[in-house]
Structure 1
Amino acid sequence: MSERIKVAVAGATGRIGREVVRMVLEDPGLQLAAAVARSAGPVDAGSLVGKPDTGVTVSSDLSEALAASRPDVLVDFTSPKAAMPNAETAIAHGVRPIMGTTGFTPEQIAELDKQCRDRGIGGLIAPNFSIGAILMMKFSSMAAKYFPHVEIIEYHGDQKLDAPSGTSIKTAEWIAGSREEIRQGNPNEEEVIEGARGGYYNGFRIHSVRLPGVFAQQEVIFGAFGQTLKIRHDSYDRAGYMPGVNTAIHKVMTATGMVYGFEHFLD
């Protein structure tokens, strides 16, 4: 049996972080090396997911945890504010970062790519780990060649910190790569209420809905003469992201540089 991949989890007490901890503990090919959270207290990581003690105590300091446990991979589901410094800390320790946190700028991605290459390791920034969401983006890119008029509506809970979502931005990038920029709508239109038409990207609009009771959905709407096409993906449970995270952990071990988009890890 090959040696297990040692995994550290940042944001381990969060809702997605706990799912990552559970997934790692249930995969015989993975080993939980560290669990990091700012305000968990010195508890065993197993207690976060209702499992027996693992011998891994939740730490509040990422750098110290990485230095002590020397993991192969860091999986980070924290916050946009913490994401960049966490990724840089991981790389500095020679740990491959898998960032499920969104909000990275193109400049930050380029800088992290350079840092990874300087250390000879790989990393991943993934706006979405859902296989269904990746297919939604792919199908939208295909449709944009024939239906260049498009708008995106993305739905998340009211506690999400960034808008528009990383998934919608990634979708917009895929669409923009399949069509020329077209400034849609009436050229003389006027927003009676500022922001009513949504965020502008490559000639089309992205609308962000934030409501309690909503988890994560996205709809891409294409319009043409006499017809519309709607491509929609709905996520109902955070556990649905875990097969993708698991795949990313294994694939990042052979990657070089910072990869942007989980689709690059799919066969």
Structure 2
Amino acid sequence: MAEQIRVAVAGAAGRMGKEVVKMVLEDEGLKLVAAINMTHVGSDAGTLVGLPACGVSITDDLELALIEGKPQVLVDFTTPQFAYVNTELAIKHGVSPVVGTTGFTPEQIEDLDKQCMEKKIGGLIAPNFSIGAILMMKFAAQAAKYFPHLEIIEYHGDQKLDAPSGTAVKTAELIAKNREELRQGNPDEEETIEGSRGGYYNGFRIHSVRLPGVFAQQEVIFGGFGQTLKIRHDSYERAGYMPGVNLAIKKVLEYEGMVYGFDHFVD
């Protein structure tokens, strides 16, 4: 049996963090060595996610957890407020960060890339770990070569902090690589209610819906003469992201530098 990959989880008591802890504990190729969270300190990470006790207690001290647990990978599903500092701390200790928290600026990603290169380790910042969502982005980028008129609509629950979502931004970036900037719509159009046409990106629009009861969906609508094309992905539960997180943990150790986007890990 190959040596287990040692994993720490930041945000371990959060909704996504719990799914990550559960996935790590159930994979024989992975070993949970630290679980970090600001609440539930002292609780066993296993029992917290409904599994037998695993002997790893929740701690609120990330640096101490990195020193004592000696993880190879830190999975971070915290908040934009903490994720950048957590990622820097992981890199400082030679731990590869796998970050699902969004809100990083291009400048921050560039800086983290330099830090990873200096330590000769890999890292990943991924707006979305769903393999289906990654395929949606790739298909949309391909379609933009033939349908340059498009709009993105993304749907999330009303407690999501950033708008547009990281997935929508990443989709827009991939589309822009295959499509020259083209300002769409009537040149004389006028918003009678400010913002009603959505956010502007490279000539097309991104719309963010925030409602209770919604989990995570995104569709890219393409318009052409006499036809439309819709590429849509729907997520219904957080467990759907775990195959992607699992793959990221195992592949990030093969890289050097900070990778932005899980699409780089999906051929």
Q: TM-score category by the smaller chain?
A: over 0.9
* TM-superposed deviation, 1:213: 0.3
Is the counterpart of residue 131 in structure 1 residue 127 in structure 2? no
Equivalent residues in 2 for 1:226-241, closer than 5 Å: 226-241=226-241
Q: Deviations over 1:188-231 (max 9, x none)?
A: 11111111111110000000000000000001000111111100
How do 1:190-201 residues align onto structure 2 when only pairs under 5 Å count?
190-201=190-201
Tell me the distance in 1 between the aligned counterparts of 2:200 and 2:33: 43
- Between the aligned partners of 2:186 and 2:68, the Cα distance in structure 1 is 60
The residue that corresponds to 2:10 in the other structure is: 10
Structure 1 residue ranges, 4+ long, deviating more than 6 angstroms after superposition: none
Q: Deviations over 1:155-195 (max 9, x none)?
A: 00000010000000000001101111001111111111111
Superposed CA RMSD in Å reads: 0.7
Partner SS, residue 7 of structure 2: strand
C-alpha deviation, 1:239, in angstroms:
0.3
Distance, in Å, in 2 between the alignment partners of 1:112 and 1:160 is 24
1:208-261 CA-to-partner distances (Å, cap 9, x unmatched) read 000000000001000111111100000001000000000000001111000111
Report how far residue 74 of structure 1 moved: 0.3
Q: Which amino acid aligns with 1:119?
A: K
Letter in 2 for 1:121: I
**Deviations along 1:98-124, whole A, 9 cap, x unmatched?**
000111111111000000000010000
Q: Output the amino acid matched with 2:261.
A: G
What SS class does the counterpart of residue 87 from structure 1 fall into? helix
Match of 2:251, SS state, is: helix
Runs of 5+ consecutive residues of structure 2 not aligned to the other structure? none
Q: Taking structure 1 as the reference length, what is the TM-score of the superposition?
A: 0.99
Once the two structures are overlaid, the 10-residue window that deviates more, 214-223 or 180-189, is 180-189
TM value normalised by structure 2: 0.99
Q: Which runs of 5+ in 1 are unaligned?
A: none
In 2: Cα distance, 1:39 partner to 1:132 partner: 32
User: Using the alignment, how far apart are the partners of 1:170 and 1:45 within structure 2?
Assistant: 32
Please show how residues 154-169 of structure 1 align to structure 2 within 5 Å: 154-169=154-169
**Paired residue for 1:150?**
150
Q: Residue 260 of structure 1 aligns with which residue?
A: 260
Counterparts in 2 of 1:210-221, with a 5 A limit?
A: 210-221=210-221
**2-side partners of 1:93 and 1:134: how far apart?**
30
